[in-house]
Structure 1
Amino acid sequence: MPHVIPVTELFLLALIIIFAVPWLFWRLLRTDYYAPLVVVQIVGGILLGPGVLGAIFPAYYETVFAPPVIGALNGIAWWAVMLFVFVAGLELDLGEAWKWRRETGLTAGLALGVPLLFGAGAALILLALGNPAHWIGAKGQHWQFVLGVGMACAVTALPILVLVLQKLDVLRTALGQRILRYASLDDIMIWGVLALILVDWERVTRQAGFLIGFAIAVVLVRKLIAAIPDRDRWYIALIWLAGCGYLADWSGLHYMVGAFLAGAALDARWFGIDAIDRFRDTVLLAFMPVFFLSTGLRTTWEMGGYAAIGAAGLLLFAMVTGKLAGVGLAGRLLNWGKGESWIIGWLLQTKALIMIIFVNVLFDKGIITSGAFTALLLAAVGSTMLTIPVVSPALRRITGLTEKAG
């Protein structure tokens, strides 16, 4: 009688692989300059998934990542990404954006709008060159796919941007705060567009009810959290997060839309910037690698590797040129100095996490296929890996930029 490995042992073995393999590559190959650990973890998820190692060693994949193990990992991944998106919403500083509203609004609008148009154009090219069924999911419509891919190309990942700014030692400078303002405003627009894409006309009454109920609940929750002791605030915030995620999903939006709204409705000062930083770092360390693996398990090469890589190259070109064109136009209108828009455009290029979260939602809702998901994932990784090598030497050439507040 063959020995059956208990599910608990398989689950723990999967965790060992998830945490050990990317960390060893990151440390031994010293990839931090081109690929921070979070990027290596995302790539590791792709390599460990069914499309690469699963195809080469099917017995390994079928044994370790059996359905019960995947179910357990998905539960951790769902909660991990909710926590992460919640923190992204919590970190929004709308007061600072309002103080610099003209410059912030113009820059953020162009930094989002132009690459959105470029990305939508790339989506139309993909549909024109091949079978639309290879790209548009079973539940997706033509306009949802085009707008969804366009927005994916326009995304700036605020949490990853924070890590990059820390790496470049400019996070707490005037330049770092400027870029965070632009990215924060873009974050609001990103989730607003996602909500528009996900509007379900069969459940639009539920969605309207959720938004109205959310607006009322925000007033009550804000009063409650402001009144209770510090030690209770995180606990109440987590209950609030789970409730918003549940009701957003029930209404036909997505639990991640609810998670972002839950964080954006609260004030970071109630929790403390240092505490939020520690909380985000803990989520990144202890939980998010599981999400990266679960994301990698969704990648597929069923259309052929060359098709996916070719589509990823087209999307990467749209992302980079669109973002640089948008920020370059803002720089001209605002009379920025030489090289300023180049640096800011590349820093706003960081995508990785939020774009991956965004396309996960599109995939969950059947708007894009697994092939489109894979191409977008590869483009997000490429875009993020280019940022530090391009920006680091450019920052050294321009003096005084880090202290320019607007």
Structure 2
Amino acid sequence: MSPDAMVLHFVGASALILVAAHGAGWLARRVKQPYIVGQLTAGIALGPSLLGDVAPGAYAALFPEGIGPALTGFAQFALVVFLFAVGYELDLKVLGKQARTSATVASAAFLVPMAVGSGCALLFRPQLRHLGMPEHLSLSMLVFAGVALSITAVPVLTAIVRENGLARTVPGVVAVAAAGLLDVVGWTVLAGAMLEGGGDQWLDWPWRLAVAVGFITLMLLAARPLLRLLLWRTRMEPSLRLALLIGFALGSAWVTHAVGLHVIFGALLAGAVVPREEGGTLDPDLLRPLHDVSSLLLPFFFVVSGQAVALDSMDTTGWSAFLVVTVLAVVTKIGSGTLAARFSGLEQHDARTVGVLLSARGLTELIALNAGLQAGLLSPPLYTVLVFMALATTLLTQPLLLLVGRLRERERRALSLRGTDDTAPTREGEHVPGGSPAPVADLG
């Protein structure tokens, strides 16, 4: 393909990707679902398993192999910008008065799904072999199976909390804070798994670990004061500061990718070390354009991820695995989150709300799955199963929240009726034989 033809195809594909993904996101929001659900669905629909099967000629014309590297590059750039913003916004001070509760909930909501996921990977090895996994699973693969079940999507969760008016409630604060802790723990464990099982690299994994630890230490100790000195105290123009910080995030992502990790870790780390404004507030001149750029370009990531979804691999075993994984993902998250919140002193309804919120996976799960596929920790058929699990658990979050709300209203009505009946006075002048007042019927 000539350079001019590649540019022509890339421009046409970009137009389709942006319109289809954002249009699908708008439709998803209209039916009370997160924007991400529509974009992910559009990405899968534009892949070879749907568009490629239904209209192979159109698919080949829209997405020729020559534009694959350009689409992947745009997808990685969008991912770095998005995760840089996530790292910048991550603030564990939000724990506040609910620090102990949030830490307890986060621990349970990570450890229980982690143990179940890793245990099921060992238990169902024959089925996993049918899905393209090796007969002998490495430690990294087992760890990744657990991480895949334990992830919570902070951006999707935050949007759901805000849209349901839970931002200033106890369950909303606890869920967001616990999800932030889960992110830190989950990405750390995932980084360790990828360092140990990163495939063909120019360094053995102990050396990669040493380089990664050295780089993280340098970033934590030196990057923040240096950035504060160069970018904040000089009162640099906001647009120039934004450009330099995105360059900083891309450089950090390049380093982590070079040592066997994924670009996601460098982007998160870069965002975490960027200094905030005085008083710990976020800089709106930095955060707003980061959100604008990432939200505009993230559809490229969804389409690239959708290219790896292999619907033709979803036979009986694949769909059975999807059902089992989805049930386990929902039950372990909601169950562990609810019990931990209840144990920490939250009332029953608030505890159930926390558990349901933590079951949302969405974009964060998709990012981790994409990293695992690139690192060789997942086979394409298993990747497809887990992508559908991420989509299903995200779709279920809003209906489950509505169900929790209805249960609360039902319980309130029952308590109200019971309270009214239990305290109802005996009708004046009504007596039983012997002169005693008539007993009040207990209708509760």
- 1:199, 1:253 within 8 Å by CA — same for their partners in 2? yes
Q: 1:395 offset after TM fit, Å?
A: 4.1
1:215 maps to: 217
* C-alpha distance in structure 1 between counterparts of 2:134 and 2:285, whole Å: 41
Name the counterpart of 2:352: 342
Pick from 335, 351, 354: which aligns with 2:364? Answer: 354
Deviations 1:91-135 (A, max 9, x none): 211223376432221111001111222222333344233526613
> Tell me, what secondary structure is at the counterpart of 1:198?
helix
Equivalent positions of 1:302-381 (< 5 A) are 302-381=312-391
Note if 1:155 corresponds to 2:151.
Answer: yes
Mapping for residues 250-329 of structure 1, pairs under 5 Å:
250-269=258-277, 272=282, 274-275=284-285, 278-329=288-339
Q: Which has the higher contact order (CA 8 A, sep 6+)?
A: 1
What's the CA shift string for 1:26-68, capped at 9, x where partnerless?
55x5654453332111011111101121122221222211122
Which position in structure 1 is the counterpart of 2:19?
Answer: 20
Structure-to-structure mapping, 1:136-175, within 5 angstroms: 136=134, 141-175=137-171
In structure 2, the residue matched to 1:9 is 8
- Aligned with 1:156: secondary structure? coil
Please list the CA deviations of residues 107-166 of structure 1 after superposition, one character each: whole Å capped at 9, or x if unmatched: 1100111122222233334423352661359xx943322221211111001111122122
1:183 matched to 2:182: no
Q: How far did residue 210 of structure 1 move?
A: 3.0
Once the two structures are TM-superposed, the CA of residue 378 in structure 1 deviates from its matched residue by 0.2
SS of the residue corresponding to residue 165 of structure 2 reads coil
| 1:327 to 1:217, Cα distance in 2 relative to 1, 3 A | closer
Match of residue 243 from structure 2: 235
Q: Is the 8 A contact 2:10 2:67 kept in 1?
A: yes
Displacement of 1:214 after TM fit? 2.9
CA contact (8 A) 2:102 2:178 kept: yes
Q: Which structure is larger by alpha-carbon Rg, 1 or 2?
A: 2
Identical columns (%): 25
Query: 1:274/1:380 Cα in 2 relative to 1: closer, same or farther (>3 Å)?
Result: same
Q: Describe the SS at the equivalent of 1:339.
A: helix
Provide the TM-score with structure 1 as the length reference.
0.88
Give the 3 Å change call, closer, same or farther, for CA 334–304 of structure 1 in structure 2. Answer: closer
Q: Provide the rounded CA distance (Å) in 2 between the counterparts of 1:352 and 1:181.
A: 17
Alpha-carbon distance change, 331 to 133 in structure 1, aligned in 2, over 3 angstroms: closer
Matched, 1:134 2:142: no
Does the 8 Å CA contact 2:171/2:353 hold for their aligned counterparts? Answer: no
Q: Partner letter of residue 185 of structure 2? A: M
Structure 2, gaps ≥5 residues long: 197-202, 410-444
Tell me the equivalent position of 1:55: 53
Q: Structure 2 CA distance, aligned partners of 1:198 and 1:26?
A: 32
- Cα displacement (A) at 1:242: 1.4
Aligned residues: 394
- Contact kept, 8 Å, 1:19 with 1:289, in 2: the verdict is yes
Listed one character per residue, the Cα deviations across residues 196-234 of structure 1 (whole Å, up to 9, x for unaligned) are 111248142133123213312333221122233252543
- Of the structure 1 ranges 13-22 and 356-365, higher mean CA displacement relative to structure 2 is found in 13-22
Q: Secondary structure at the match of 1:278?
A: helix
Counterpart-to-counterpart distance in 2, 1:30 and 1:184? 25
Structure 1 residues 5, 193: closer, same or farther in 2, change over 3 A? same
Show the counterpart of 1:64.
62
Q: Which moved more, 1:234-243 or 1:48-57?
A: 234-243
Query: Structure 2 residue aligned with 1:386, among 368, 371, 396?
Result: 396
Cross-structure match for 2:436: none
Any stretches of 5+ residues in structure 1 without a counterpart? 400-406
Q: Say which is worse superposed, 276-285 or 89-98, in terms of deviation.
A: 276-285
Spell out, residue by residue over 1:214-262, the C-alpha distance to the aligned partner (whole angstroms, 9 max, x if none): 3123332211222332525433322221121111111112221111122
Is the partner of 2:311 in helix, strand or coil? coil
For 2:285 and 2:355, the matched residues in 1 are separated by 30
